Amino acid sequence: MFCRASIRFRSFEDDLLSDDQWRQKAVLIAESDLPLLQRPIRQQLAELKELLESRFVNVNVRITEGKNKYVAVKKRSRQSRWKLTYPRSKVPLNHPLFDSLPLLDIPIP
């Protein structure tokens, strides 16, 4: 569903180039002054894959060295298991005062 008069909810096709314009894509890309569009996509994907792999390695190293305080590692004989830990709230969820109050039924008219 879309609304033609809207900027936020208009049709996706309204943002696309026409077929005639797209036939001139080489000229459009050259004129766009966006170097990223002028680089081969396979090169870009290879660089992004390398970056992602290095970040995976970095995260794993930080976990195994205990530098990530939100991940707890349990070592077993051959395998290690991990789980996320969540910081506890400094404000108690249920104040102890409420535990001392008697429970009462509230009648519904």
Domain ranges within the chain, ordered by starting residue: 1-38, 40-87
Determine if the pTM surpasses 0.75.
no
pLDDT digits (tens, 9 = 90+) for 14-72: 888 889 999 999 899 889 889 888 899 999 999 999 999 999 999 989 988 889 888 88
pLDDT digits (tens, 9 = 90+) for 76-104: 777 778 888 887 777 767 777 888 888 88
Residue 85 CA to residue 71 CA, distance in Å, equals 6
DSSP 63-83: HHTT--TTEEEEE-SS-EEEE
Polymer length of the chain: 109
Q: Give the number of C-alpha atoms closer than 13 A to the C-alpha of residue 90, restricted to the C-beta side.
A: 0
